[in-house]
Amino acid sequence: MTDILVIAAGVLAIFFVLKIAFKALKLVLTLAIAAAIFYYLVNYGFLEGLF
């Protein structure tokens, strides 16, 4: 019975770690896409008036 509880706790812990990691990865990817868009806008002259 103890083995089943340990396995269940392990699976639950992995699930929560992956859930948090997915949120962090989503944030990083969103920031990377925003930075890439900003980079292209600056390089191709769409934001010339700001700088």
Rounded distance between C-alpha atoms, residue 44 and residue 29, angstroms: 23
Environment class of 50 (CB within 10 Å of its CB; exposed 0-12, middle 13-18, buried 19+) = exposed
Report domain extents, the chain: 22-51
Q: What's the CA angle centered on 34, arms 30 and 38, to 5 degrees? A: 170
Answer whether 0.75 is exceeded by the pTM. Answer: no
* 20-49 pLDDT tens trace: 999 999 999 999 999 999 888 888 877 766
